[in-house]
Amino acid sequence: MKVYEFDGFPNPARVRIALAEKKMTDQVEFVSINVPEGEHQQAAYLAKNPSGTVPALELDDGTVISECTAITEYLDASSGERALTGTTPKEAAVIHMMQRRAEAGLLDAVGAYFHHATPGLGPDIEGEQCSQWGEMQRHRAEQGMRYFDGVLADQPYIAGEAFSMADITAFAGLAFADFAKVEIPADCEALIAWRARVSKRPSIAG
């Protein structure tokens, strides 16, 4: 298998964490796509992934899977017992729900702020920007942090009692927030404690 990525970006980091959790890192060849230089917009990569996003997983039979959730689903289902996406219908539904909340209300919101209200990746990559929209999304990200702080005040992980895909997404969202200089509110003690605890997992600590 191959993973097309750009090291240090939040979405590729999600897949790397999932691979490490599943102990599959050594089964993958990582191929760098230079996003800051626009390689993700060139024909060769678009032929594999028309959305032009990273990461993308290419299977040995040539099938290309993009979108972190889909990639994580494949990895979790293809290697032993499911550990990241739920083992019962209820667990799977709750994990998917919370994963999407982490994605839309935190990771994607920080991304919109970065790409619209800051220089982002530069004018050659960003194209048109809307700073007002970006600032609105920064506020949304802060609201997301407060929401997850409330969730984590009552349970150890984003989707319940066990670490899951939802935690990976939220962790990547906070890492992106650091990079974009969107701070966690100081009174979000449960979120801050969760982050410190999760950062010690071997799949994240390295």
Give pLDDT tens digits for 78-92: 987 899 999 999 999
Compute, in degrees rounded to 10, the torsion defined by CA atoms 6, 32, 38, 137. -10
pLDDT at residue 101 tops 90: yes
CB count within 10 Å of CB 168 equals 27
d(CA 31, CA 28): 9
d(CA 159, CA 91): 8
In tens, the pLDDT along 123-154 reads: 777 678 788 988 999 999 999 999 999 999 99
| 3 state SS of 163 | coil
31-36 average pLDDT score: 94
d(CA 45, CA 92): 32
pTM reported for the whole predicted model = 0.94
Q: What is the structure's pLDDT at 130?
A: 86
In tens, the pLDDT along 174-201 reads: 999 999 999 999 999 999 999 999 999 9
d(CA 136, CA 141): 9
In tens, the pLDDT along 41-84 reads: 999 999 999 999 999 999 999 999 999 999 999 999 998 789 99
What tokens appear for 69 in the block?
A: 């959730």
d(CA 92, CA 36): 35
What domains lie within the chain, and their CATH numbers?
2-78 (3.40.30.10), 89-205 (1.20.1050.10)
